[in-house]
């Protein structure tokens, strides 16, 4: 197979390959798919058994030229996850930490999420989902809508508050009890 067509796996398996070019190729191929954090790229390099010092040099160089920027990644990630997927700041924080973003960078990115915008997004999610629930009874609607918001990372108090607000006072007699609120957390 000609060298230009080799995949990163083939390159990493070649003992004669330059480790730095292997690392650079792996990183650049991963970055062509989507932006990644420094930690994600470091993990990918470690999985391909690239020496740590070589990985560190390559990642440093990619950071110097602006191909890796955890601050920009976190800010974009937070904004898009909140506006497009309706995730809460708490869930966005969890996901960014799982991607290896530093705590102070995560805090800075999540600080840009307006609490009122977060509530509005959650309310829009509930309103949209509620349109397809015309045949369900009140408690089932409430349970499913609260579960939707819980999966998006909203706390139980916020989720129930928004659902009650959207559904309205006509379902006040079917408002869940404390036992119902804790049941969906189990």
Q: How many CB atoms lie within 10 A of CB 98?
A: 11
Between 173 and 51, whose confidence is greater? 51
Residue 40 burial (C-beta neighbours within 10 Å; 0-12, 13-18, 19+): buried
Claim to verify: residue 90 and residue 149 sit in the same structural domain = no
Claim to verify: residue 10 and residue 30 sit in the same structural domain = yes
The yes-or-no verdict on residue 6 having pLDDT over 50 is no
The yes-or-no verdict on residue 154 having pLDDT over 50 is yes
Question: pLDDT value at position 177?
Answer: 53
Please provide the average confidence, as pLDDT, over all residues in the chain.
83
114: pLDDT confidence band, cut at 50, 70 and 90? confident
Claim to verify: residue 9 and residue 43 sit in the same structural domain = yes
SS3 146: helix
The yes-or-no verdict on residue 182 having pLDDT over 60 is no
Number of folded domains in the chain? 3
The yes-or-no verdict on residue 37 having pLDDT over 90 is yes
Question: pLDDT value at position 148?
Answer: 93
Domain that holds residue 92: 70-111
Its pTM stands at 0.73
Residue range 96-104: mean pLDDT, rounded: 94
Question: pLDDT value at position 84?
Answer: 86
The yes-or-no verdict on residue 179 having pLDDT over 70 is no
Claim to verify: residue 106 and residue 136 sit in the same structural domain = no
Claim to verify: residue 179 and residue 125 sit in the same structural domain = yes
The yes-or-no verdict on residue 166 having pLDDT over 70 is yes
CA–CA distance from 93 to each of 106, 108, 115, 162 (Å)? 6, 10, 14, 21
Claim to verify: residue 103 and residue 125 sit in the same structural domain = no
CA–CA distance from 123 to each of 76, 93, 112 (Å)? 22, 20, 19
Claim to verify: residue 175 and residue 120 sit in the same structural domain = yes
Claim to verify: residue 58 and residue 84 sit in the same structural domain = no
Question: pLDDT value at position 41?
Answer: 94
Claim to verify: residue 86 and residue 142 sit in the same structural domain = no
Residue range 66-73: mean pLDDT, rounded: 93
76: pLDDT confidence band, cut at 50, 70 and 90? very high
């Amino acid at each position: 197979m000609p060298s230009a067509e080799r995949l990163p796996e083939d390159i990493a398996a070649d003992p004669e390959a330059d480790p730095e070019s292997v690392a650079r190729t792996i990183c650049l191929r991963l970055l062509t798919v989507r932006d990644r954090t420094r930690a994600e790229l470091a993990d990918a390099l470690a999985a391909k058994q690239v020496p740590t010092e070589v990985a560190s040099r390559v990642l440093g160089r990619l950071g110097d030229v602006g191909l890796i920027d955890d601050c920009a990644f976190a800010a974009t990630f937070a904004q898009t996850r909140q506006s497009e997927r309706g995730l809460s700041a708490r869930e966005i924080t969890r996901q960014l930490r799982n991607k290896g973003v530093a705590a102070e960078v995560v805090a800075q990115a999540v600080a840009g999420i307006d609490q009122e915008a977060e509530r509005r997004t959650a309310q829009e999610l509930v309103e949209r989902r509620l349109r397809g629930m015309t045949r369900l009874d009140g408690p089932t609607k409430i349970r499913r809508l609260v579960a939707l918001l819980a999966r998006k990372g909203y706390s139980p108090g916020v989720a129930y508050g928004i659902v009650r607000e959207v559904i309205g006072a006509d379902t006040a007699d079917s408002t869940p009890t404390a036992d119902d609120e804790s049941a969906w957390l189990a």
